[in-house]
Amino acid sequence: MHQARRTPARPIAAWLAGPLIALALPVLAARGPDVPDYPADEVAPGLYVIHGPVGYPSPENQGFMNNPAFLVTETGVIVVDPGSSVQTGEMVLRQIRMRMDDGSFRGSVEALDAVQGVVEARVLVPGHGLTGGWDIVDDYRAYLNGVYTGVAELYEQGVSDFDMKPKLAERLARFKDWPGFSEELGKHISLAYLEVEAGAF
């Protein structure tokens, strides 16, 4: 079970829940339309159920006929039965995100610290990549913290967000071999810039 503290930890809970759900979903050659959003009903404190259609699988319901559920706890989010298709899993994720605080770099760093403080494990299985030890969490924390602190420093210097990428790419060069590093860094800088900017007012 992936764990995190409730308020700042929720962003990282979403990060961990996404890969887990993706692993549980079948790989499809071609996907159909998105499953429309079904409401998540809180049936008990922190326990939400998405009541799916009643009936047999059909093209209309894209095989969605179960009741996905997720439990928001003090230490993380537990997802039960994410559904029978990619589209259903994506809909479940949307419902989870709607009930979680907005993600933040600082909150995610605090959440990772909280995970290391309460989870006793020697082997970690990420949603993507190789199984390993706590170096997986250490590296992800270092990246998030590097992006946020780097953006904050450059913001104070009056550097615009679209001029930050070359400087931060050099600072975060140890992560340059991560798949999608160059493409994602620009997006992460923009998000961190908004967070830093909001904190300045």
pLDDT in tens, 3-29: 444 444 444 444 444 444 444 444 444
Instruction: With residue 149 as reference, give the H or E element that holds it.
Output: helix 135-156
pTM, to two decimals? 0.55
Q: What is the pLDDT of residue 180?
A: 87
Q: Exposed, middle or buried: residue 9 (CB in 10 Å: 0-12, 13-18, 19+)?
A: buried
Taking the C-alpha atoms of residue 147 and residue 187, their distance in angstroms, rounded to an integer, is 11
Least confident among 1-5, 28-32, 89-93, 145-149:
1-5
Q: Read off the amino acid at residue 21.
A: I
Q: Which residue in 7, 14, 195, 2 sits closest to 104, CA to CA? A: 195
pLDDT digits (tens, 9 = 90+) for 85-115: 888 888 888 888 777 656 678 877 887 787 7
What is the percent of the chain with per-residue pLDDT over 90, rounded to a whole number? Answer: 25
pLDDT digits (tens, 9 = 90+) for 151-160: 999 999 999 9
Least confident among 1-15, 57-71, 183-197:
1-15
Q: Could you identify the residue written with the tokens 């400087």?
A: 167
Taking the C-alpha atoms of residue 141 and residue 12, their distance in angstroms, rounded to an integer, is 11
User: What sign results for the dihedral spanned by CA atoms 34, 36, 37, 41?
Assistant: negative
